[in-house]
Amino acid sequence: MSKKRKKNAYLAYLEFTGVRLVMTLVRIAPWKLALGVARIIGYVIYMVDSRHRKIADDNLMAAYGDDLSASERDTIVRGAFRRFAELGVEAIHMYRYAESEAWREHVRFDVPPEVWDIMRGPRGAIVVGAHFGNMDVTASGFSLAGVAGLAVVRPMDNPLLDKLLTDFRSRSGIELIPHHGVFHRMQEALEAGINVGLLVDQDAKRNAVFVPFFGRPAATTSSPAVLSLRTGCPIIILYGFREGDMPIFRVVTDGPIYPSPTGDLEADVYRITADMTSRIEKTIRRYPDQWLWMHRRWKTQPPPDWSPPPGWSLPLGASAPASPSAQPKTSDEEPVA
């Protein structure tokens, strides 16, 4: 083994050991202490990570324009960094509850009967989410409630850390599969009655369709729409909100969005993707500091010969699902998931 490979292996092991130690400490720490430490860490990251702080502020400026002052944007950015740090604490405590029936005391479902019937039916649903709230906790809640599902994830560069987190996240019963070359696997799962989970709010470099997101063309994965059209399975959007400062999580859904094919595949893919993205945008607008503004969502731009399709500026989708404990969008004490 070369010196470089030895060094990389050593650093990978150090990273793995450090993360495992932190996970152990969070697991045994009281909830309020762990949450308080996470918020301090989030604030420190906000202070030192000027690059992602600027990306977040630029994204907010482009999305909201003059509707938000610099102070309001900064409040949302600080909230987003804090949320990012809180996610791990929430997930670790949730998986601890999953080891017993205690999870039932911490998860509340605000889900219509139609959605339960679809997700427990003979054919699965395409369950999409965003880097909003805590998708780990939300997806785990459904799995613990007896809903079969698999989630498409990006493997981590560190194989030791990837295995640690995969084993950890699989405790609730969710099957995790790498995101490369999985389309047929997803189709097979849906036909077998297994729900398929995808995150759809990041810049898509391949198989993308440009749809409006905060008034700007955003490269968005076409996989949910294509899967829906091929299988006939509906799309359901999944969110999770933490109620106050206690480890109580409310799971909320939007949809279903049915494929309703017209025979024009390109137009159908655009329509479904735009509808899905519009619904996510409306929820983010309602709770802006719950979303990961630090990501370069609009990095990939349309080609020079691209032009908006008909209906580009028309409002799409449904109103954002509400969390009963929701507080003002820029409050430092907003509900978090």
CA angle, 126 then 128 then 134, to 5°:
140
Single-letter amino acid, residue 177: I
Higher pLDDT, 48 or 88: 48
d(CA 268, CA 260): 8
Rounded distance, CA 194 to CA 3, Å? Answer: 45
334 pLDDT exceeds 80?
no
User: What would the pLDDT profile of 8-57 be if each residue is shown by its tens digit?
Assistant: 777 877 877 777 787 788 888 888 898 899 999 999 999 999 999 999 99
Assign 77 to helix, strand or coil.
Answer: helix
Select from 243, 240, 246, 203 the least CA-distant residue to 97: 246
The two three-digit tokens of residue 123, written as one number: 């054919």
Length of the chain: 337
Could you read off the pLDDT of 214-228 as tens digits, one per residue?
Answer: 988 999 999 999 999
Structure-block tokens of residue 294: 């630090």
For residue 83, give the nearest of 50, 47, 44, 38 by alpha carbon: 38
Contact between residue 214 and residue 288 where contact means Cβ atoms under 8 Å apart:
no
Q: Find out whether 240 and 283 touch, Cβ atoms under 8 Å.
A: no
Identify the pLDDT of residue 313: 56
